[in-house]
Amino acid sequence: MIIYGSSISPFARKVLVALNEKGIRYEHRPVAPQAEDADFRAASPMGKIPAIDHDGFRLADSSAILDYIEHLSPQPALIPADAQGAARARWFDKFGEVELDRKLSVVFTERFLKPRLFKVPGDEALAQQALDTHLPPLFDYLESQISGPFLVGGAFGIGDIAVAAPFHNLRLAQVEVDAARWPKLAGWVALTLDRPAFVTAIAAPAW
C-alpha cells in the first residue's frame, strides 16, 4: 500500500497511525497538498492528502481510508463492534477533523507554518483569539468525555487517533494543553501521542 501525504498533516497522520497500529506494511510517499505528482493525482484528483494506492485501488480522504483499513485488517479493531460504540467512534473522528482541527490549525498556521515554512510573519492576534476563545469550549467538551485512557469502548481506536492527531501540531506551535485547567485532557493527549504508532507517524518525512 502506498500512502501519499505529509506527516505534518493531521489527516495523513491519522492514516499512518492506523497502519502502524495494525502492523500493515506500507510505503510512505511524502507529498504536499495539490502537488503535481502524476501518481498522487491519480489517487487524489482533487489534490487532497492523504491518499492511498493499494494494488490499483485508489482513495483519498482520511476517514474513508480508515474505514477501508478496518475492513482490510479487522484486528486489532479500531472501531467498536457495538452500534453505539461505532457511532461514537465515528463522531469523534468527525469532531477531530471538523471541529477541533479547524480551530487548532489557526494557531498552527500563524505560529508555525507561516514563519517556519513560508518565511512570512504570522498573525499573532488570530492565534491568540483561537487559544482564548475558540479552543477552550472544545477542550471543555473533551475534558467532560475523558474517563480513562481511551475515548470509546475501553480500547484504542479511531476516535483517539482523530482527536489526538491535531494536538501534535499544537505542540509544534509551542502550545501545550493547560494541565491545571484541563487535567484529564492534558494527560490523555500526552499518553496518546506517546504511543509507538504515533511516535513512528510523527517521525515520518513531512515533504
Residue 170: CA count within 13 A, CB half-sphere: 23
Helix or strand or coil: residue 67? helix
Helix or strand or coil: residue 44? coil
**Predicted confidence (pLDDT) at residue 9 exceeds the cutoff of 90:** yes
Average pLDDT over residues 80-87: 96
Helix or strand or coil: residue 12? helix
Say if CB 167 and CB 189 are below 8 A apart: yes
Residues 6+ away with beta carbon under 8 Å from 148? 154
Average pLDDT over residues 147-167: 96
Q: What are phi and psi of 57, to 5 degrees?
A: -85, 115
- Banded model confidence at residue 205, pLDDT cuts 50, 70, 90: confident
Query: How far is the C-alpha of 137 from the C-alpha of 80, rounded, in Å?
Result: 27
**Predicted confidence (pLDDT) at residue 117 exceeds the cutoff of 90:** no
The reported pLDDT for the residue numbered 193 is: 98
Antiparallel, parallel or unpaired: β 27-29 and 51-54: unpaired
Q: What is the pLDDT of residues 174-200, one digit of tens each?
A: 999 999 999 999 999 999 999 999 999
Full-model pTM: 0.96
**Predicted confidence (pLDDT) at residue 206 exceeds the cutoff of 90:** no
- Mean pLDDT, the chain, as a whole number? 96
| Burial zone of 196 (CB within 10 Å; 0-12 exposed, 13-18 middle, 19+ buried) | exposed
The Cβ of residue 172 has, within 10 Å, a number of other Cβ atoms equal to: 16
Residue 106: CA count within 13 A, CB half-sphere: 18
